[in-house]
Structure 1
Amino acid sequence: MDDRAAAAPTGYVLGDDDPEMARLDALSSLYGPATGAWLDTAGLAPGMAVADLGCGPGAVTLAIADRVGAGGRVTGVDAARRPLEVARRRAAGRPGVAFVQADVTTWEPPGPLDAVVGRLLLLHLPDPVALVARAASLVRPGGVVAFADVVLPTRAAHPPLPLLDAFNGWLLTAFGRLGVPVDAGLRLTAVYRSAGLPDPVLTCGQPLERGGGATGWAVVAGDAVSLLPAFERTGTATAAEVGAADLGRRLRAQAAAADAVLVNPLLVGAVARRPGQG
């Protein structure tokens, strides 16, 4: 998180600097299979025009591009400049892929869309229903609206690791005080209903890893760095308590010593079609 977050849920509460890029890359690696299953459930097909809202450094955008092919069009939209620079480099030479710096709540597509998707976006928005309703308005009748989000309280280690338990407590407490929903993935059906869409088809994935080499430790370590200002601002934990600079090393050491299994947070995907005939 950074200082773009106040004591109310006013927007994205994680950073966009280089350590944050590393965290996002770890997330994309960890949730690649679950993301692929969600996008396949969405029925993305060659020739489609798709928008990826909150695209970050473009992992989901490129996965969409693989599905819509050279004859399709995919636009990644994000408000942060640095992730888009990374995304453009990674997409260089890919036909039909473009990235736009814009507010995802007000961006207007250049033409009709067959689908709008967004991963790990809704939990950062003060009004996720409004965003999903707007996404539905951007697609043609019969078009796809697909969002995916996590359920943060489901992260755990077996056997339990004291340091991970402490981090989970700080995270859930800080998000609660900031008004950020920690169970956004479980709210998707209610959000879709409130946005006037049919009940979505749901997918889920929860990666399990073992030992100190788990990718998920990089996500936790990156979160600790990004969230430290929020921990301190909300009175959740001090910098000395968190020890963000070497939290990842200490977590890996505890996990290796216990040969622990890391249960990463559950990712829930939702897919529905805008009512009407395309």
Structure 2
Amino acid sequence: MASGIEAWLFGYAGTKLANGVLERLRGDKLTVDLRRATEKWAAQLPDHVALASIYALFPDAIADDELAERPALMRLRFDLRQSNVPTDEVWHEALLEQWRFVRANARDPDDFFQLPEAEASRHLSALAVKWHTVCSQHEALFRATTISLLRELLARGDGGGAPEEDVQKVLTADQKALLRCVYQHRGLCRIAAARGEYECLWAPGVVCDMQWGWERTPEECRRSGKAPGDRRDRLRWIYVVKDLTEAGLFEAQAKGYYALTEQGWRVAHDLGDASTPH
């Protein structure tokens, strides 16, 4: 079974995700940089709290369905899979939770795990800041990692069982919302710009297409006196479309349209009917 930072962070997308995915993540720039930051942090620890190996912090691969007693790690994985950069507080809570687990369960833990909790917490806080810094510098890699996991699952057709549940665990809430929406309306959405605005996602509705995120140009704001809108929200939904396209669930068509592929129809169908918040 795979172990280390990659397995601890990303776990398994359900219980059937092959170890090969985690092996490939070991070469991902994000996880490489996180590992280097951890090694640098460990090298700077005082002698009396030396950590023989950074992997003592990550002794096991923990599957998603084993996280009931690991709420901090669950929150961390949720942020990663939503393509959000976890805060240093989220990192710290997950690291401290893991420290407590190793302290309570390891037969012969390193000195680091025998420190008073307050002292260990201070050291882990410094590591959390380093990890947050690394992730902030590589924000786009979160999306790339999520898509890598999703494409691996979608490509599996080896008789190991239908991957629907695994796929749904990897899809973000935004991706599910858009898939459900387009499934209900001819399988199409569009990225286009209204007059005086930048490109945004137009998702189908009962009466007409609706903007999911919008932003006016500076010239239009000056002319109309209206608010500029929200760039992050506008780009958020554009990235959802682009990521689903890269994963093979959408395909680009003429005039900015995106259509569900055959695989996209199947995944959207398996999601079932639900509201589509945005």
Structure 1 length normalisation: TM-score? 0.31
Q: Which has the higher contact order (CA 8 A, sep 6+)?
A: 1
Task: Name the structure where helix makes up a greater proportion of residues.
Answer: 2
